[in-house]
Amino acid sequence: MLHHLRRPLPLALTLAFLTAIPILTGLIDVLLIPSGAYPPESAHLGAAPVSWFAHALAGVVFGLTGPVQFVRAVRNRFGLLHRVLGLAFVLSGAVLGLSALSLLAQVTPQRTAVVDVARGLFGLALLFALTKAMVAIRSREILRHRAWVIRAYAVGMGLAAVSLVFFPIFLVTGRAPTGLASDVLFVASWLLSIAIGELVIRSLSRSSPQVPA
């Protein structure tokens, strides 16, 4: 049941916990990329270091500012801070989506076309969700804005779900899974993140007269 996620703080803490792995990975990349000491599993991204660095840094900012958007105390008591962090969330999300598309165009694929096509669609979906969120807030449609922010976060941090699925496999086998079946699981995990986002939106909408769309 997701009824407890109607409270902003549990939702924020849950998001922070679930996205810890990709945020920490992004921080490591941000520190290593300028030195050229690329992690072996990501060395192929060195073909586009600027896009990779932008993607990693944007992912960290996006991942950290996202959960804060759902803390009511920040929205109600620190309106300016909420707006500043919201702007950082949108801008970093835009960079995250654009840099993902840039990496797809510059880096030699390491997986099957299934993952590359999915990454491209997810990047576009992130940009679309952020645009819808901005349009909604400009129209003062708060609930619709919140729904699209959740969707944007679910898409942008979909790697969190992938990490939660693949990390235990890596711990057991000592290597990352590969092959078509692995790539299908990769995409399915990302889609799971999006599905959970929709469940959270539905749960939150039950306490409101307006149903976000």
Q: What is the pLDDT along the chain (213 residues), one digit of tens a residue?
A: 444 444 555 667 777 777 888 888 899 999 999 988 887 778 788 889 999 999 999 999 999 998 888 777 677 777 788 889 999 999 999 999 999 999 999 998 878 889 999 999 999 999 999 999 999 999 989 889 989 999 999 999 988 888 888 877 777 777 777 788 888 988 999 999 999 889 888 887 776 554 444
The Cα angle at residue 60 between residues 76 and 175, in degrees rounded to 5: 135
Residue from 133, 152, 135 nearest 198 by CA? 152
The Cα angle at residue 128 between residues 17 and 68, in degrees rounded to 5: 30
pLDDT of residue 177: 72
User: Rounded to an integer, what is the distance from CA 78 to the centroid of its chain?
Assistant: 24
- Which token pair is 70? 């759902």
Query: What is the C-alpha to C-alpha distance for residues 7 and 66, in angstroms, rounded to an integer?
Result: 15
Residue 177 backbone dihedrals phi, psi, to 5 degrees? -65, 145
The Cα angle at residue 21 between residues 17 and 23, in degrees rounded to 5: 90
User: In the chain, helix, strand, coil percent, each to 5?
Assistant: 85, 0, 15
How many CB atoms lie under 10 A from the CB of residue 178? 11
pTM over 0.75: yes
Residue from 127, 122, 138, 12 nearest 65 by CA? 12
- Which token pair is 175? 């290597």
pLDDT of residue 7: 52
The SS3 of residue 19 is coil
**What burial letters (b/e) apply to 201-212, b meaning 16+ CB within 10 Å?**
bebbbeeeeeeb
